[in-house]
Amino acid sequence: MPALRKNRISCWFTVIGGVCGGLSCLISGAWAQSAETYIEIVIRGESAANGTYDPSLEYGTDGVGWMSYSSVIAGKNAKVQTAIARSDDQGRTWMRTGLVNQAMPGTIKLGGRDVKGMWWHEVSTLMHDPSDPGREWKLYWHKYFTKLPHKSAKDRVLSHGWIAYRSAAAPEGPWSDETALFGAGPFPPPPYEAEVDIASLHPDFADYIVLTEPGSLFWKGETYLSFQAVRHPSKGKNKHDVILVASDGASWKGIGVLLKAELAKNFGADIFSGTSLAIDKGRTFLMVTPQKLSGSFDATGHLGTLVFEFEDIASGQLKQNPDGSPLVIHYLKPQLSKGGQADYDEQNTNGGLVMPQFDERNLPKAFRIFNTGERLAAD
């Protein structure tokens, strides 16, 4: 979450805390950057002082588009909240319809003392599940506690957080009460409790302590969720993997690790963040953001959006290069100073893939969302 200090906003999408010369060989012949200028999405009715971020697109069977996103208020009493917007013209224009997750003040026990702060809601993902009457619309997001006054990313208490969930018959609501759905290992601590410990779903998930940046997809009767998953610091610095889980509606299962953090160095980055899942022309895709870290907490850059294609999403198999490494289908770089965390819906024909971007030169609204006009299955 950003903090306004000395007229600057510190970048906020972090959890814990050499460019590959042969990058072109990793990218499927298409393109690495569009020559077109991205077009900013100005959401009518949205008044957040510092802008909007974290878009997640989903269209219903009626052709109406919906987007969940983070509404950002920075500064000493910073807030991140989840709002919903609607488009009736396939993504050309958007109008806010309401607030789903409101940031609320709270107090937690930390180191034997009471700590006052705020519960934040960010990096949401919106999903349409036509097989679940009355709960067709699902919202998953990262809820966590931050200390007040909020001055930097170090004030976030990510041990006190989880992947939360709500459902509704329609995106306008009313939405169900929040469920603390996924925790990781020892977190969150008592008295908080998540329904599912990610470590229980797969042997490779045993060392994760934080889940964030979820992506969602309903495909062939299954719900798929991707996460940026952070390992315990004792397991090595900057161990942020990308993982996949699935549900048939009755229970959750772990599919496996899609991307290891070590691969990020091929893109001048330390980790991958901003996961998202999408369909285009019957093909399934994973999007992630290569991210450069500084120190142990603050991000210094989100370096765009990498698009991978699944060979088989049910088994978590990505298409590969001849050497066995994951094949990058597209690489969209930000046209402003930072950006990534993109999402896509094939019905969003007047907007294409949407990418949020961050730029301090646009204060106070440094957080912005853009239509790129790009399709995933462009070939």
Q: What is the pLDDT of residues 48-72, one digit of tens each?
A: 999 999 999 999 999 999 999 999 9
Q: How high is the pLDDT of residue 22?
A: 30
| Residue 19 CB neighbours (<10 A) | 10
What whole-number distance in Å separates Cα of residue 22 and Cα of residue 186?
40
Residue 275 scores a pLDDT above 50: yes
Residue 14 scores a pLDDT above 80: no
What is the mean pLDDT of the segment spanning 72-96?
A: 94
Give which of 103, 234, 90, 74 is closest to 164, Cα–Cα.
Answer: 103
- pLDDT tens digits, residue range 224-258? 999 999 988 776 655 899 999 999 999 999 999 99
Q: How high is the pLDDT of residue 34?
A: 52
What is the mean pLDDT of the segment spanning 120-125?
A: 97
4-8, 119-123, 224-228, 298-302: the lowest-pLDDT one: 4-8
Give which of 250, 253, 251, 231 is closest to 241, Cα–Cα.
Answer: 231
Rounded mean pLDDT of the chain? Answer: 88
61-70, 125-134, 146-155, 277-286: the lowest-pLDDT one: 146-155
Instruction: Return the higher-pLDDT residue of 297 and 86.
Output: 86
What is the mean pLDDT of the segment spanning 298-307?
A: 80
Instruction: Return the higher-pLDDT residue of 327 and 232.
Output: 327
**What's the pLDDT band for 352 if we cut at 50, 70, 90?**
very high
28-32, 95-99, 148-152, 373-377: the lowest-pLDDT one: 28-32
20-29, 50-59, 132-141, 145-154: the lowest-pLDDT one: 20-29
DSSP state of 268: T
What whole-number distance in Å separates Cα of residue 343 and Cα of residue 307?
10
Q: How high is the pLDDT of residue 238?
A: 58
- Residues 221 and 248 sit within 8 Å (Cβ to Cβ): yes
Q: Name 70's Cβ contacts closer than 8 Å, sequence gap at least 6.
A: 52, 53, 54, 80, 81, 82, 83, 121, 122, 123, 124, 367
Count of residues making up the chain: 379
Q: What is the per-residue burial (b if ≥16 Cβ within 10 Å, else e) of 304-316?
A: bbbbbbbeebeeb
What whole-number distance in Å separates Cα of residue 157 and Cα of residue 140?
19
Residue 183 scores a pLDDT above 90: yes
- Residues 38 and 370 sit within 8 Å (Cβ to Cβ): yes
Q: How high is the pLDDT of residue 1?
A: 31
Give which of 216, 347, 325 is closest to 280, Cα–Cα.
Answer: 347
Q: What is the per-residue burial (b if ≥16 Cβ within 10 Å, else e) of 78-94?
A: bbbbbbbbbbeebbebb
15-29, 134-148, 267-281: the lowest-pLDDT one: 15-29
Residue 9 scores a pLDDT above 70: no
Residue 209 scores a pLDDT above 80: yes
Q: How high is the pLDDT of residue 293?
A: 83
Q: How high is the pLDDT of residue 70?
A: 97
Q: How high is the pLDDT of residue 36?
A: 74
Burial of 297 (C-beta count, 10 Å sphere; 0-12/13-18/19+):
middle
Q: How high is the pLDDT of residue 150?
A: 81
Take residue 320 and report the two structure tokens written for it. 């590969």
Q: How high is the pLDDT of residue 29?
A: 37
What whole-number distance in Å separates Cα of residue 119 and Cα of residue 156?
10
Report all structural domains of the chain as residue ranges with CATH numbers, in order of start. Answer: 4-17+22-369 (2.115.10.20)
Residue 379 scores a pLDDT above 90: no
Q: Name 309's Cβ contacts closer than 8 Å, sequence gap at least 6.
A: 283, 284, 285, 286, 318, 319, 327, 329, 376
Instruction: Return the higher-pLDDT residue of 138 and 27.
Output: 138
